[in-house]
Structure 1
Amino acid sequence: MSVKVLNQPWRRPRRPHGYCPPVWSYRQRQTSPRPRVRICRHVRREGCCGHCPSPRAIARIERVEALTPEHVQTALDAFQLGITIRLFSQSTATAPLAAAALGCEVGQIAKSIGFIVQAQPVLVIASGDQRVDDRKLATLLGVTRKHVKLATPAQCIEYFGYAPGGVPPVGHRHRPYRVYLDTSLQRYTQIYPAGGSSSAIFCVALAALVQISGGIFADIRREASPRCGTPPEVLQE
């Protein structure tokens, strides 16, 4: 007959993935058997889950400098299309600000949105008056929605080379894994993408945008859901 021994002190319990052992001070050892404050061993921050990057990785990301519109102009000159970047004194980081500075429609502004999908950079170029649906993007890439993450400002500089609001469709630090152009851009013949900073824009034809970006057209825009009590024609305006 076998006897099951419970509460064996020599067996260490299994720790969950990402467990961050607490840091004990000498006074805490003398007063209480358990520490009162749990401090992350990676960045020395309280309440951390253990999945944060190491200080060496954080310092490496902070040392990466953003590229400039000169890098974008060099990449555009390689195509020999005669495209010149325009610099403005005011900010053009958002689609309404860029449309106001150029005097065009908001839909003509091409916003470049960076995503990180399974550690791979993916660039989506959409119209300024549309929103990107991450569910459709996940379906195109053959992954689930939880694997599609919007790139942080640090990741935009690390992978694409530019801060959000100035990501161009060409001249990236690393070549994106996929480049998708939303079908909403096909409404216009002249498109205005960002030129490498929050105050740089250039004009390009739709066919030339496909050529310099190397992307393919796909329906990635988010469908507008009608609100309760709001007529559909009001939402379309």
Structure 2
Amino acid sequence: MPAEQTSLPSHAAVDRVIAALAAEGVEARVVWFDDAVTTAQLAADALGVEVGQIANSLVFTLDDEPILVLTSGGHRVDTEWLGEQLGGRIGRASKEVVKSATGQVIGGVAPLGHPAPVRTFVDTDLAAYDEVWAAAGHAKTVFPTTYDELVRITRGTPTAVEPR
């Protein structure tokens, strides 16, 4: 696993994530990789962890409102089913909507550090792991957290993202 590099590269979106973590009382332990880890499998391989421990940050629209779904890298979101559970229709957000809602680009979207709060849903499958990893605002960054902490810092709603 790469060493934590808290004093190395800087990036505005990562700096906002670090500040947001600090505001929630969390010490940021951002890991920078040499190459982008834009998929759950790439991140898991780089970290030497199970793919299910990766908290994918996926921006969708619920009707016309951007929402953030933090899902375990071990499976996909069933958008039709989840939309029914949430009382609306879920669609993929465009890269412009992702950037506008989060201040970050696809591949590095963090669960926090956004210009304004984004309604967030946290996959209950992530609770199976003692440690989960989320993007830190850039495609070359991640940070460790726990399921409970992830729910707390995002003010997210624990939610299944596919039928059981």
SS class of match (1:68): helix
For 1:202, which of 143, 152, 159 is the aligned residue?
A: 143
Cα contact 1:192–1:204 (8 A) shared by 2: yes
How big is each residue's C-alpha offset from its partner over 1:120-144, in whole Å with a ceiling of 9 and x where there is no partner?
111111100110011222123212x
Could you say if the C-alpha distance between residues 158 and 67 of structure 1 is closer, same or farther in structure 2, counting changes exceeding 3 Å? farther
For 2:44, which of 83, 99, 105 is the aligned residue?
A: 99
Q: How does 1:81-160 map to 2 (within 5 A)?
A: 81-143=26-88, 147-160=89-102
Given the two structures, how large is their TM-score scaled by the length of structure 2? 0.87
How big is each residue's C-alpha offset from its partner over 1:6-48, in whole Å with a ceiling of 9 and x where there is no partner?
xxxxxxxxxxxxxxxxxxxxxxxxxxxxxxxxxxxxxxxxxxx
Higher mean C-alpha displacement, 192-201 vs 78-87: 78-87
Superposition deviation, residue 222 in structure 1: 6.0
Superposition deviation, residue 172 in structure 1: 1.1
SS class of match (1:202): strand
Q: Matches of 1:171 and 1:81 in 2, distance apart? A: 13
Which has the greater radius of gyration?
1
Letter in 1 for 2:132: I
SS class of match (1:210): helix
SS class of match (1:168): coil
Cα contact 1:132–1:222 (8 A) shared by 2: no
- Larger relative CO (CA 8 A, sep 6+): 1 or 2? 2
Cα contact 1:126–1:132 (8 A) shared by 2: yes
Q: Which has the higher strand share?
A: 2
SS class of match (2:49): coil
**Aligned residue number for residue 54 of structure 1:** none
**Aligned residue number for residue 13 of structure 1:** none
Cα contact 1:95–1:128 (8 A) shared by 2: yes
The alignment yields a C-alpha RMSD, in angstroms, of: 1.6
**Aligned residue number for residue 17 of structure 1:** none
Cα contact 2:127–2:148 (8 A) shared by 1: no
Q: Are 2:133 and 1:182 equivalent residues in the alignment?
A: no
**Aligned residue number for residue 227 of structure 1:** none
Superposition deviation, residue 69 in structure 1: 0.6
Which ranges in structure 2 are unaligned for 5 or more consecutive residues?
A: 1-10
**Aligned residue number for residue 59 of structure 1:** none
**Aligned residue number for residue 165 of structure 1:** 107
Could you say if the C-alpha distance between residues 68 and 206 of structure 1 is closer, same or farther in structure 2, counting changes exceeding 3 Å? same
Q: How does 1:3-14 map to 2 (within 5 A)?
A: none
Superposition deviation, residue 67 in structure 1: 5.2
Which ranges in structure 1 are unaligned for 5 or more consecutive residues?
A: 1-65, 224-237
Q: Matches of 2:82 and 2:120 in 1, distance apart? A: 11
- Matched-pair identity in %: 34
Letter in 1 for 2:30: I
Q: Matches of 2:152 and 2:28 in 1, distance apart? A: 13
**Aligned residue number for residue 8 of structure 2:** none
Q: Matches of 2:144 and 2:151 in 1, distance apart? A: 13
Given the two structures, how large is their TM-score scaled by the length of structure 1? 0.61
